[in-house]
Amino acid sequence: MLSGVQITRTAVLGLGLIGGSLLLRLAKMQASAIGYDADPGTRAAVADRLGEHAVASDLAAAIEGADLVVLAVPLPAVPVVLSALAEVGYRGLLTDVTSVKDPVRALVSTELAGARWVGGHPMAGKESSGFGVADEDLLNGCAWALCLDDEVLLDDWLAVARWALAVGGRVTPLTSEEHDTAVARISHLPHVVAAALTIGAADGPVGPAALGLGAGSFRDATRVAATRVALTAAMCGGNALALAVEVDALIERLTSARQVLTDPEALSDWLESARAIRANWPPPGAKASVRLTRDELLFLGRGGGYLIEIHESSADVIQPEA
């Protein structure tokens, strides 16, 4: 039997794309779980799909008996849910699926002081949102950042990590700050760029012809510009500090690239440095083992590795090959 903190019942608060997919997944696993959403229509849709027992009619009922609460609401709704949890006196484990971690960490420390929060971010999504597009397989195999910040107890982290693995994630240990820089680069910046490319393509007299000729590279480069604005604005705005640094770095890179457009050799060298990275992405991994210490876990995550199974005192992991 595993030692440490056990999770026996999960309450999912917010049943949109991610929360809904999570609840569907937990139901499929026949895990003890219940969901709650502030929207009555969503609650009705969930009850239709999973039965009345799967959805609570209020937040207090949802968290009754739960030893893990998952915040699956958009960032702007996090404070009000944290207040509600404080009001009903919730003291158990808490995780979230929000796309930025430092702002959630700050909110938890003010709204639910002393909470046993382990920030999480499953890297899964779609352009569309809501329970209607939730999918029990959405989180299967997805990268799942799980924050091992200084104030997080290792046993709490390991309990949530085991749970995230059971749900289907590949768990990457990082600090909240490291997470926010990483996702600024690989998620928020691509969203900003997609919007800028879309607006630029449509601009001026050549706009209609440009949009008419757009093919694969335009389609993929701008796909996420069609995302619901509230989601993109919340995640970009919520991570504004880290994102601004990455926007600046991108502007610098574009400025340099512009200088070499007429220099075939320099242009090729620059493109090759990108090709070598992208053609090797995702980097092939090799199985290894780490001890369950804070240092070894964070070293793994910082190197781009992730956990696949946690044992009593070690974890099986995948590390990118050098």
Interacting residues with a second copy between 244 and 273 (CB under 8 A): 244, 246-251, 253-255, 257-258, 261-262, 264, 267-268, 270-273
Q: Verify binding: residue 38, a second copy, rule CB under 8 A.
A: no
Least distance in Å: CB of 270 to a second copy? 7
CA angle 23, 165, 125 (to 5 degrees): 55
Least distance in Å: CB of 18 to a second copy? 13
78 to 97, contacts with a second copy by CB under 8 A?
Answer: none
Q: Of the two residues 110 and 262, which places its CB atom closer to a second copy in the complex?
A: 262
User: Any bridge partners for residue 117, and if so which?
Assistant: 94
Q: Of the two residues 65 and 283, which places its CB atom closer to a second copy in the complex?
A: 283
Least distance in Å: CB of 70 to a second copy? 19
Least distance in Å: CB of 38 to a second copy? 20
- 108 three-class SS: helix
Given a contact cutoff of 8 angstroms between Cβ atoms, the answer to whether 98 and 180 are in contact is: no
95 to 134, contacts with a second copy by CB under 8 A?
Answer: 123-125
275 to 314, contacts with a second copy by CB under 8 A?
Answer: 275, 277-279, 281-283, 301-306
- Rule CB under 8 A: choose which of 12, 26, 84, 236 binds a second copy: 236
Least distance in Å: CB of 20 to a second copy? 18
204 to 223, contacts with a second copy by CB under 8 A?
Answer: 205-206, 208-218, 220-223
Chain CA centroid to CA 7, Å? 21
Given a contact cutoff of 8 angstroms between Cβ atoms, the answer to whether 176 and 151 are in contact is: no
Least distance in Å: CB of 30 to a second copy? 28
Q: Of the two residues 9 and 135, which places its CB atom closer to a second copy in the complex?
A: 135
CA 159/CA 162 separation, integer angstroms: 5
183 to 202, contacts with a second copy by CB under 8 A?
Answer: 183, 185-187, 189-202
User: Any bridge partners for residue 287, and if so which?
Assistant: 318
Question: Which residues lie below 8 Å from residue 285, measured CB to CB, with a gap of 6+?
Answer: 305, 318, 319, 320, 321
Q: Exposed e or buried b for every residue in 225-257, given b needs 16+ CB within 10 A? A: bebeeebbebbbebbeebbeebbeeeeeeeeee
- Rule CB under 8 A: choose which of 93, 148, 182, 317 binds a second copy: 182
Least distance in Å: CB of 315 to a second copy? 16
Which of these segments, 39-47, 172-180, 288-296, 307-315, binds a second copy (CB under 8 A)? 172-180
CA 117/CA 150 separation, integer angstroms: 12
CA 104/CA 16 separation, integer angstroms: 18
Residue 131 half-sphere exposure toward CB, CA atoms < 13 A: 27
